[in-house]
Structure 1
Amino acid sequence: MSPRAGSAGHHTLAFVESPVQLLNVLEWAHAHALRTAGSGAPGRPAAIPAQGGPRSGEGRTSADDAGAAGHPAPGGLTLVVLSPTDPMTRGQLRRMAELARDEGYVVRWEEARGGTAAPFQTIGGLTRLLRRAHRVVMGDPFSRYVQLLLTITRARELVVVDDGTATMEFVAQLARGERLVRWHRKGGRRGPRDLLFAPVSSSARRRLTPSAGRTVEVFSAMPIEEVPAGVTVTANDFSFTRARFGPPRITKGADLVGTSLVETGVVDGERYLEAVMALAQAHGARRYFAHRRESPEKLHNLAVRTGLEVVRPDLPLELIARRGPIGRTVLSFPSTVVHTLPLALAGTEVRVAVCDIDPAWLTNGASPRAQGFLSGVTGAARDVDRLPSTAERDVSAGQDVAAG
């Protein structure tokens, strides 16, 4: 399943759309020893490029051009960035792309959403690489872009790396033979675009089902209970991150990790601000690490009302935390980091604590699946402390009064 990077006929093509996906491809490649001859020796601290790296498609190297003509890159792994339009995500992706190049991997930046014609140009330009690739690695099997690309490839090996907690839902849906749909949209009505894309999504699900001529691997730090028949699950322990960065300097007090649950329509904005304020006061939090999808307006309001220093990280939080400085306690709501940070910070004295989402915080438009999914994310987390939600604190307080 894991031949060396330079093995003839085993070229790997990886598609990423977020900084975390790119980090997890690097973790996967590190775990499978997919290293090029020119990459750094294991354990050597990686150089992090300065902020303000190449914009959009600038800064292409000869390594980029090696993949541009449809020929496999010399190192055996080509990372294709399907660039989003969000400025924060693009900035983090540029820095992660430079880190990947420093590790000796080929990075090809695609302006995949840069106008009406961009998807056709991107897919047309990648067709030859897709047809030649023996292995395809993807960070988001729910992505319509990725699902469309899967209809083109003849790859005999497919790999799904973590795209956060969505990986848990993907594996469960695959095991149950369900259509692929993101957890926060599940239960909602399918729109015209969903219906139009349904055949492509169905084809992608079939291709992601192991067969006699095709293997499927899931590389994940998430707890996976339902494993589809024939799927290989490999644990991501963040060995690349730990080998390259840290250990961090640990500061007093706590840091709080933000979430985009308000932006996705799951949690009410006012209730979320109240919860952040209560957590910050109870635990002496000083900094708030914003999720890349959180809106500037929300973050400004949060800073004014809570007094927290809002930090917009330019790298995935696992790298930020590992480099430090980081608070002795890291507070989070149910999200990917309650699973990944304990792994990235293994061997340090940092404590990760998670606060449950109170059902009263959910919006009227939240998916019926939302509460159960978020509770599952918290309940399955290892090596974290659980903090009670508002509802649980109220019940506990009521019991104490009754007992008294």
Structure 2
Amino acid sequence: MESPLQLLCVVEAHHAGVLGPSTRVVPRAGLPALRMTRRELKRLGLPEGLEFAEPSDRMPRPSRTWAVGDAFSGRVQLALATAQPGRTILVDDGLATIRLLELLVARRPLLRARARATPGRVLLGAAAAVRLRTRKPTVFTALPVPDDLAEAVRSRGARLVRHDFAWLRSQPADRPPDERTVVLGTSLVRNGLIHRDRYLRWLERLEEPVAYYPHRREDPRDLDRVRRIEGLTVYDAGVPAEMTLRDLRPDQRVLSLPSTAVTSLRVLLSARGVSVESVDVPDDWWTASAGPSLRSHLQIFAHDPSANAPRKVAP
């Protein structure tokens, strides 16, 4: 597992019985957020039959049942193309999960949205796509896969299993922040997709006490600027928002730029009456690196079916 969300979702997959009676999880070494998430999951008490191996830089050899999160990883694709696992389980890796399903249905190479399509990567991505399609994987996801895409995935023999974080819901939660408004940090600035100053100006204009939960890939220098905003408190939890914010009160709300966490927190918090609002990114926030197709993909789940429209940024 290479990200905190992947780690959480493989625990959910084991709890749901998708992986079988025993599961050995090998986290990737050298990732602080993964280490903190692993520690927090162990503190909560892992489901019976699941264990965490020591973190490793080496890709585990695929076994009878093989669960992966990032099927765009070169190491994962090499294993897909050269090894012979029995069953392959794909767990959530953010919005990339939807792109993966779209590429599998379209019979195209598995390449990230912003990846440089070198001949070698295209060849490896194509080989991995063929092997993955022939193995008819199980996709274990909390994301609302569009109906037409879900039908196409199933028609090609894959199994689509939805979940709502049942294991996490059953665990005791820490006290939520005192602030009524919670803002989720974003990686879009560091990735060069939106302008830094416009984002920081929006935070400054919220004009109310705010609990800010950074994204794990935010630039520390940007966070220093965020910490200087009056009325804003940074809660540097270091674990997925799904874990830290699952016990918010009905009088609280969450604001976020487009992210997977918007969708997963809606799944977790809808029954509690907590509003999770996606901010509609203005055109002048985007940089030249964010083309129309990428913008559309990033905002695929911005709209909450229970609301009238995504939240607009005040001018």
**TM-score, normalising length: structure 2:** 0.87
Aligned to 1:29: 14
SS of residue matched to 2:189: coil
Separation in 2, partners of 1:351, 1:362: 26
Aligned to 2:70: 140
Aligned to 1:375: 299
Q: Deviations over 1:192-214 (max 9, x none)?
A: xx4333332222111221x3xx3
Separation in 1, partners of 2:199, 2:250: 23
Q: 1:205 aligns with which of 117, 129, 134?
A: 129
Matched, 1:243 2:150: no
Separation in 1, partners of 2:123, 2:36: 34
1:360, distance to aligned residue in structure 2 (A)? 0.9
Conserved 8 A contact 1:356-1:387 = yes
Separation in 2, partners of 1:389, 1:197: 38
Mapping of 1:265-304 within 5 angstroms?
Answer: 265-278=192-205, 280-281=206-207, 284-304=208-228
1:324, distance to aligned residue in structure 2 (A)? 5.3
Conserved 8 A contact 1:339-1:382 = no
Unaligned runs of 5+ in 2: none
Q: 1:342 aligns with which of 261, 266, 275?
A: 266
1:387, distance to aligned residue in structure 2 (A)? 4.2
Aligned to 1:258: 185
Q: 1:352 aligns with which of 276, 286, 290?
A: 276
1:277, distance to aligned residue in structure 2 (A)? 2.4
SS of residue matched to 2:79: helix
With 256-265 and 314-323 compared, the bigger mean Cα shift is at 314-323
The one-letter code sitting in structure 1 at the alignment partner of 2:4 is: P
Q: 2:110 aligns with which of 171, 180, 184?
A: 180
Mapping of 1:1-400 within 5 angstroms?
Answer: 16-32=1-17, 76-83=22-29, 85-96=30-41, 101=46, 103-112=48-57, 122-123=58-59, 126-127=60-61, 130=62, 133-183=63-113, 185=114, 189-190=116-117, 194-209=118-133, 211=134, 214-225=135-146, 226-227=149-150, 228=153, 229-246=156-173, 251=178, 253-278=180-205, 280-281=206-207, 284-323=208-247, 328-379=252-303, 381-383=304-306, 386-390=309-313
Unaligned runs of 5+ in 1: 1-15, 37-75, 113-121, 395-404
The one-letter code sitting in structure 2 at the alignment partner of 1:389 is: K
1:291, distance to aligned residue in structure 2 (A)? 0.6
Identity %: 28
Q: Deviations over 1:22-43 (max 9, x none)?
A: 111111111227675xxxxxxx
**Aligned Cα root-mean-square deviation (Å):** 2.7
The one-letter code sitting in structure 1 at the alignment partner of 2:107 is: G
1:365, distance to aligned residue in structure 2 (A)? 2.1
SS of residue matched to 2:234: strand
The one-letter code sitting in structure 1 at the alignment partner of 2:76 is: V
Structure label with greater radius of gyration: 1
CA 1:270 to 1:377, structure 2 compared with 1: closer, same or farther past 3 Å? same
Separation in 2, partners of 1:231, 1:33: 14
Separation in 1, partners of 2:172, 2:49: 17
1:236, distance to aligned residue in structure 2 (A)? 1.6
